[in-house]
Structure 1
Amino acid sequence: MATELTDEEAAGYWLETLRVARAIIAIYQPLKLNYETLGTTSPHLHTHLLPRYVEDPRPGKPFPFVAADGPEPQIPEHRFVAEVQALRELLT
């Protein structure tokens, strides 16, 4: 849980989260980025960074994690690899 972190650990966690968020914003250029911090099912802490766009499936509401109409579309492998590489370059 975030409240169990020392001040130094908490500062480090949020600085890393912001660093990743800035990389996501630079690559994907969303309208906004939602931060969802969880850790309820077992003792741990993690944050989902959710880019939101004009074509958002639920504007102004929580992002749906499960596709409503069938399977989620797949990202072509070449695009996935290029995006991973771009994010790695920003984060190294």
Structure 2
Amino acid sequence: MGEDKTYNGWTNWATWFVVSELENNTKWYEQSQRLVRTEAVPEEFEQLAKECLFPNSATSYGEMSLSEFEEVDWNDIRDTLIKD
């Protein structure tokens, strides 16, 4: 059987980290609500988060590197935002 990589109720650590970092980000909140209303695809949430966390081509944000950012489950984030 595969190893369980869930973290605090999210798909993995990377997904949890992005959600927890963006919860109090005004730009993220306003724009993600717009994306929810327009039923945007997960890639649009990814682009918005990247703009919020990695501005000016930064290669890391806090404990997260760009390579870890690639592991985020955008479907999980999108589906959760739509449910709320």
If asked which structure has higher relative contact order (CA below 8 Å, sep 6+), I would say 2
Larger radius of gyration: 1
TM-score, normalised to structure 1, is 0.27
TM-score, normalised to structure 2, is 0.29
Higher strand share: 1
Higher helix share: 2
